[in-house]
Structure 1
Amino acid sequence: MTSKIKRGVSLYSFQEEMFLGKMTVEDCVAFGASIGAPGIEILPEQNMPTFPNISDRQVGEWQDMLARHGAHFTCYDMFLDTKRRKDRLMTDEEQVESIHRDLILCNRLGIRNMRILIFVRPDILEKCVPMAEKLDVHMGVEVHAPWHLEHAWILRTIEVADRLGTKHLGILPDMGIFMKHYPPAFRARFERQGARPEVTQFIVDQHEQKVMCEYTIFEVAVKMQGNKVEVAMAETLRHAPYANPKRIGDYAPYFRHIQAKFYEMNEDCTDPAIAYDEVIPALVKAGWEGTLSSEYEGNRWIQDVHEVDSREQVRRQHVMFERLIAQAEAA
């Protein structure tokens, strides 16, 4: 079967180079297009200096830039700061107003998918559905570790979407939920900071066996008398779940975009931690037609020892995507 999966990249992947002034936004767009990943996921609060005040001229400049490189927008990452005011949380009405603002800008930019932060309540999103339908923007709640596709909080959003019969509210999986193996880059960083190899090996083994994270944290902190760094490493297990990739097809109708999280790619273009070799076949089998959007977050784990090369890491991931999609199509 021929897959209709599309490929893209989140500008978040190049945060290191953009922060250091080594890459401009246009450099990132051009690079994505050059490796067959022309779909661009944007973070307006980070990538648009005058946000939220974006003029029609600025919108036109963005569209012209994308056109120059044969690229297009795929997703708008919204943020909702519920502590917008120092003395209190935002009211429900203020939250709805903020999301409406993002939906409008998303539509003006010609984007049809908006990433919703996971902590936004389903009842708040329900109030935003009429606006999303009017503007034809799909609101996808980010399924981010330690949550997973079948977590009760995520199912609440799906229940709202089903009850309303809307195609403009659903989910948006972050591939960090499919962490089958503990990332080698994590372990190496903790060891550089003072974690003993025998303790880090214990933590890796516990993760490999999928032991409940709280048990491992207790073992390291109490029984092994772990130091501060070792306990911190054990605590990362709270955000290192391995959800069942076979279930992704059941939820495919509820998402149109994927944040293809990864922390490192090997030289042979394989991911040592996240089970893409299981996820991609499940997506192809389901006939999913959305975009795999690279989200590289490995910079913070290696920047203390050598220069970050986000471009090479993203390139390797897309070589992997091409291979895995082709293999799944031929199966």
Structure 2
Amino acid sequence: MEILANTHIENYPYPTNEWVDKWLRLCDKYEIVPVEYGNWIDSHVLGDRDLTTEESYEMLARDIRLAHRLGFKVMRTKMPVISNELAPVKNWREIIKMALPLAEELDIKMCPEIHTPTNLKGQMVTDFVDFIKETGTKHFGLNIDFSVFRLKFGENEFRDPLYTPNAPEDIIPLLPYIYCCHAKFINMSDDFEETTIPYKEIIRILKEHDWDGYLLSEYEGADKYDFGYEVGQTLRKQHIMLKNEIGD
């Protein structure tokens, strides 16, 4: 499971011991694995100026400690963007480098989300991979949102003009740095097929390369804010699809 820290944690970023105890108890009761902790390094929070590198680090370090306390191993570390291509703030390297010792100590992997309209072969992804190689870290990586593979859009549905679909094969050189993926789904058919994203090819590649990270279901259909029976059935259809494609 993934949570969004400032949405789902009561009294974030300072939950009570009672809230944390209840969280851990419910995870154990329902056999839930806390996979990804969604956090923001909100460098623009003050409005009149950006946070300094040190201030941004303190915000990130606070979330690393809380993610660890709640049993998470991966963080979707979202940073403010400075371009339509979702490029992060210019000092992201310094912020992440300051946080690496703490992430290593607590065994937390920080993963920015690679989302539409980002190109997997583009400069931003290249910069992230270069940083990983230069530092040799195993505690900074990538979260690939499957929207980057989307092929079909509805007639009146918004499509980012900067977006060009990535081929499933484009993920292959990135797999050593990917710890989880947002398994985006928009439209599930009654025969358990996602009609907008080439899941068969994606799953086949992940299996062929023995990738062993997490797929986190993320629904973005037209009724995504209607948490009723129909959305639950759509989620179930996706899980059946994943089971069929992944197997045992």
**What TM-score results when the alignment is normalised by the length of structure 2?**
0.88
Partner residue of 1:136? 107
Are the structure 2 counterparts of residues 127 and 300 from structure 1 closer, same or farther at C-alpha, using a change threshold of 3 Å? farther
What are the Cα deviations for residues 42-88 of structure 1, in whole angstroms up to 9, with x where unaligned? Answer: 11211112100123332221111011111120110112222211322
Which structure shows the bigger proportion of residues in helix conformation? 1
Larger C-alpha radius of gyration, 1 or 2?
1
Partner residue of 2:57? 96
Displacement of 1:257 in angstroms is 0.8
Structure 1 residue 180 and structure 2 residue 151: aligned?
yes
Cα distance in 2 between the residues matched to 1:300 and 1:123: 40
Partner residue of 2:235? 314
Cα distance in 1 between the residues matched to 2:7 and 2:127: 30
**2:233 is aligned with what amino acid?**
E
Displacement of 1:239 in angstroms is 6.2
Partner residue of 1:282? 205
Cα distance in 2 between the residues matched to 1:43 and 1:300: 20
Cα distance in 2 between the residues matched to 1:131 and 1:302: 36
Partner residue of 1:154? 125
Cα distance in 2 between the residues matched to 1:308 and 1:244: 34
Mapping of residues 63-82 of structure 1, within 5 Å = 63-82=24-43
Are the structure 2 counterparts of residues 123 and 140 from structure 1 closer, same or farther at C-alpha, using a change threshold of 3 Å? same
Structure 1 residue 145 and structure 2 residue 116: aligned?
yes
Displacement of 1:240 in angstroms is 4.5
2:44–2:50 Cα contact (<8 Å) kept: yes
Cα distance in 2 between the residues matched to 1:127 and 1:91: 12
Displacement of 1:268 in angstroms is 1.3
Partner residue of 2:84? none
Displacement of 1:287 in angstroms is 0.2
- Any runs of at least 4 consecutive aligned residues in structure 1 with deviations exceeding 6 A, and if so which? none
Mapping of residues 29-48 of structure 1, within 5 Å = 40-48=1-9
Are the structure 2 counterparts of residues 127 and 302 from structure 1 closer, same or farther at C-alpha, using a change threshold of 3 Å? closer
**1:320 is aligned with what amino acid?**
M
**2:234 is aligned with what amino acid?**
Q
**What TM-score results when the alignment is normalised by the length of structure 1?**
0.67
Cα distance in 1 between the residues matched to 2:162 and 2:17: 40
1:179–1:240 Cα contact (<8 Å) kept: no
Displacement of 1:130 in angstroms is 1.5
Structure 1 residue 114 and structure 2 residue 35: aligned?
no
Partner residue of 2:66? 105
| Structure with more contact order per residue of length (Cα contacts < 8 Å, sep ≥ 6) | 1
Displacement of 1:300 in angstroms is 5.0
Displacement of 1:160 in angstroms is 1.0
Displacement of 1:126 in angstroms is 2.0
Query: How many equivalent residue pairs?
Result: 237
SS of aligned partner of 2:150 = coil
| Identity value in percent | 28
Query: Any unmatched runs of 5+ in structure 2?
Result: 82-87
1:242 to 154, 161, 165: 165
Partner residue of 2:95? 124
> What is the RMSD of the two structures over their aligned residues, measured on CA atoms?
2.0
1:117–1:141 Cα contact (<8 Å) kept: yes
Cα distance in 1 between the residues matched to 2:234 and 2:93: 35
SS of aligned partner of 2:112 = strand
**2:52 is aligned with what amino acid?**
T
